[in-house]
Structure 1
Amino acid sequence: PLSKEGTFISKIKARISFSGLKEAYSVKRRIATWNFALMMIKDRPLLGSGIGTFQYNSLNYQAKFFEQGDNRSIYPHGYAKEAHNEYLQLVAELGIIGLGILLWIMIVYFYKGLIFLNKTEDNEKKGILIGLMGAVVAVLIDGIFSFPLHLPATLVLFWLFLGISMNIITEKKSEQIENSIKEESCHLINIYRYKSVFRIIIILLFLLVSMTLARPFIAKIYLYYGNIEIRKKNEDEALHLYQKALKYDPYYGHAANSVGRILKNKKIYDKAQEYLERAEKTFDAHTLPSELAMVYYRQDKFNEAEEKFKKAISYQPNKKSMVPIYTNLGNNYFKMGEYDLAKDAYRDALKIEPDFVQAHFNLSQVYFRQNLQREAVEELLTVIRLAPDSKEAEIARIIIHKGVQEERERKEEEKNKDQEK
């Protein structure tokens, strides 16, 4: 009775069960991410793909991973901005050389730290250093399953701990260096005559660096307010804000993608193509290939559209979301006159969703082009059965009625010819 629905124990059981499901999902997601991170490493093992590029390459390599065997059905889909393993991500972005540099820093750090602990008799410094080294070890272990060095707070603390540790370790050496500098300072006294000039140069450099660093941040603010306007369905104001974001950061792919989508909705396809292609260089999203494919399709650039439709299919989070893209790919082949390929694409859509009306209707048009009248009529009848009140069903009735009339006229014509003979 305590396990009945609504009781305290039943709620605890439900929560434990949900937590277990979430944990299983998280583990599978990490395994998938590690696998396609290894694929990235395999492609560029020495120097990597560049710092900060993991999230840009993530969807592309995830798509390749899901194409292998049953991976799509085994592992959950997602968008991994981080690899959930600092070392895999480091090698993916900076290659074996990057990992080697980090290992060298860590080896030198712990080597010097352990030597200092063995030699020093200052218990206070010993205690502080052990605490700092323990914190560094904790971050390094956490990096096996997470991304602490991509979290600003942890990143700052990590390097701060290293810096304080090295300051403790090299304190005596620092004093010796300071004394030698004082001895040499008499030779450098003339430099202080130009102190004001140096100050002005430093201030100018500081302002330049500050403005350079501030521009991407300002661009993100404009993007944020642009997204608010989109939610209000105010596309014109959103477009204005997104374009302002691009003025501050011309390489901000997210903003370029947003501009491209609005221009596509406004049917300004040439400009939409320009912005979406610009976005593609520095940004990636599940929707980007399909948006770009439709822009190409609307401009009769069918070869380019075909490539992007195929990429869009591989980017989808589940099979159901592939259905409209398979249908659009079929439409693209139909326009190209590739009727067999169009037929295959529509059938792929129907394998996933057998009752998808648009695919049945479009498939009927392919059959008509191939003079397969009976198969075409069967598809039209399926459309009428599945969605009797739809626009497609209305057109299907007209086509069938017209076909029946033409068949009657043909038979009557043949009958008249026979009578004349």
Structure 2
Amino acid sequence: AAYQRFLIWLSAWDISKQNPVVGCGWGLFEMLFPFYQQRYLIHPNLTQRTHANNAHNVFLENLSQTGIIGLGIFLWLIFCIVKFGFHQIKNVKNDFQKTIAVGIFAGVIGMLVDNIINVTLYFVIPGFFFWMNLGILAGLGTSEKKIIHHNSVTKTVSVIFIAVSVLLIKMYITIFYAEKNYFTGFKLAKRQSTPIEQAIPYLERAHKLRRLEVNNNYELANGYARMSAQFRYAGVPVQADEYQKKAIRFYKEAIAANPGYDEIYFNMATIYAQRKEFALAEENYKRAVFINPFSLDAIMGLGNIYLFMEKYEPARNLYRRATFINPSNKDIWNNLGYVNMKLNRIADAKECYQKALAIDPNFDLAKKNLYNINSAVINKRQPQIDADGHR
């Protein structure tokens, strides 16, 4: 979406300003982006947070990660490519080859234009075809045979170059197959009609090929979490526990690849909460909220953990914060009323239940709690109240 790219571009520009000469370091944009986008989420047109593993603009991609120096080198490279393309078109004598040269050069320019809103130059398959086309363009019209005399130094350099090239080719082939398995597993995992068991083997193969890839590790952990839920609902606690442990392991591997995804911490915290490991759940919910201060799910999750731990004051602060993010959520108002009662804030609790009922007049839980408050006030006793899912 356009607003997502605008949010990414604003954040990329801020990253660039932080280290304008040399940038933040190649490959670090994805890790830094979540922290830079926070300031813009209060804008009414940019409230929907997004993820970005690149700047979606090749110039900002280079500027943010390699600074003015890197961007200057990249612009020089583009200038050389364009100049060389026009040179080949002008100097190729054969009409057929000239036509081929024009077509290839148009494709190269088209890809460069596309990279104003993308960074496909750095993706394996599009990048391969980009440089392959330049190689073909360079070979057009070349008919002269040159004899190159090698000495020991040039032979050694040639061997090293060939060895490095072979290793790079092997690496890119591995990445290609890893991505192929990941996307297959991802599509199967998102397809509601397909059992999650069919997606997991593809994601596991992708992990073996490329261990520290955040998206694959995250989806694999989600798959294990779903398997755990299936066994838990089926009444098979041993296998449910086994898959929960697997999910936690791969959430941690996803964090090792990129610690900037609040969803990873949130999902892992949820698993810990299911396992009654509330201290670990609290720690990971806090990290999710730190990365994304506007994540209603993470704020409510942390508030619920405090509720279980009977830490009512911090729970109240979080629920109040949640009402600013989504004031039309009846469950938030009901939970806030619950902690207000626990803190003996009777008037505040009554107001919260009334707001919950204003949102949904048929909300039975809020009706019951408000009735209990009114009855308790009349009879001068402690009211019996229920939170959303807590008694």
Q: Common fold, TM-score beyond 0.5? A: yes
Contact 1:219-1:246 within 8 A present in 2 as well:
no
Contact 2:38-2:292 within 8 A present in 1 as well:
no
1:371 aligns with 2:344: yes
* Cα distance, 1:307 vs structure 2: 2.7
CA distance in 2, matches of 1:129, 1:97: 35
Query: Which residue identity does 2:337 align to in structure 1?
Result: S
Partner of 2:116: 144
CA deviation string 1:300-327 (max 9, x = no partner): 122442232343444x5xxxxx3x5443
SS at match of 1:179: coil
SS at match of 1:40: helix
Contact 1:125-1:168 within 8 A present in 2 as well:
no
Query: Which residue identity does 1:103 align to in structure 2?
Result: L
* Cα distance, 1:380 vs structure 2: 4.1
Larger C-alpha radius of gyration, 1 or 2?
1
1:290 aligns with 2:266: yes
SS at match of 2:11: helix
Partner of 1:216: 178
Contact 1:218-1:248 within 8 A present in 2 as well:
no
CA distance in 2, matches of 1:238, 1:135: 36
* Cα distance, 1:86 vs structure 2: 1.4
Partner of 1:61: 36
* Cα distance, 1:362 vs structure 2: 1.8
Partner of 1:250: 211
Query: Which residue identity does 1:282 align to in structure 2?
Result: A
CA distance in 2, matches of 1:393, 1:289: 35
CA distance in 2, matches of 1:135, 1:371: 70
CA distance in 2, matches of 1:312, 1:260: 21
Contact 2:174-2:209 within 8 A present in 1 as well:
no
Task: Evaluate the alpha carbon distance shift between residue 66 and residue 363 of structure 1 in structure 2; reply closer, same or farther with a 3 A threshold.
Answer: closer
CA deviation string 1:151-203 (max 9, x = no partner): 7776445424433444458x47x63xx3344xx79x9xxx9xxxxxxxxx9xx
* Cα distance, 1:359 vs structure 2: 1.9
Contact 2:54-2:61 within 8 A present in 1 as well:
yes
Partner of 2:193: 232
Contact 2:88-2:101 within 8 A present in 1 as well:
no
* Cα distance, 1:37 vs structure 2: 1.3
SS at match of 1:232: coil
Contact 1:293-1:304 within 8 A present in 2 as well:
yes
TM-score, normalization by structure 2: 0.66
Aligned counterpart in structure 1 of residue 332 of structure 2, from 353, 356, 359? 359
1:25-174 to structure 2, matched below 5 A, reads 26=2, 28-45=3-20, 46=22, 48-51=24-27, 54-55=29-30, 57-66=32-41, 70=43, 72-73=44-45, 78-80=50-52, 82-109=54-81, 122=93, 127=98, 131=102, 136-147=108-119, 149=121, 155-167=127-139, 171=142
- RMSD across aligned C-alpha pairs, in angstroms? 4.7
Contact 2:178-2:207 within 8 A present in 1 as well:
no
SS at match of 2:37: helix
Partner of 2:237: none
CA distance in 1, matches of 2:200, 2:209: 15
* Cα distance, 1:214 vs structure 2: 5.7
CA distance in 2, matches of 1:380, 1:75: 28
* Cα distance, 1:384 vs structure 2: 5.8
SS at match of 2:278: coil
Instruction: Work out the percentage of aligned pairs sharing the same amino acid.
Output: 18
SS at match of 1:227: helix
CA deviation string 1:236-274 (max 9, x = no partner): 555565445434433243333234335545374554333
Task: Evaluate the alpha carbon distance shift between residue 403 and residue 388 of structure 1 in structure 2; reply closer, same or farther with a 3 A threshold.
Answer: farther
* Cα distance, 1:88 vs structure 2: 1.1
Contact 1:222-1:245 within 8 A present in 2 as well:
no
Partner of 2:291: 311
CA distance in 2, matches of 1:87, 1:326: 36
CA deviation string 1:28-73 (max 9, x = no partner): 544332211112323454154434x545654443334335xx3x43
Query: Which residue identity does 2:277 align to in structure 1?
Result: Q
SS at match of 1:144: coil
Contact 1:226-1:241 within 8 A present in 2 as well:
no
Contact 2:285-2:298 within 8 A present in 1 as well:
no
In terms of fraction of residues, the more helix-rich structure is: 1
Contact 1:40-1:61 within 8 A present in 2 as well:
yes
CA distance in 1, matches of 2:320, 2:4: 30
Task: Evaluate the alpha carbon distance shift between residue 365 and residue 225 of structure 1 in structure 2; reply closer, same or farther with a 3 A threshold.
Answer: closer
* Cα distance, 1:227 vs structure 2: 1.0
CA distance in 2, matches of 1:367, 1:327: 16
CA distance in 2, matches of 1:379, 1:240: 48
The aligned length equals 350
Contact 2:23-2:67 within 8 A present in 1 as well:
yes
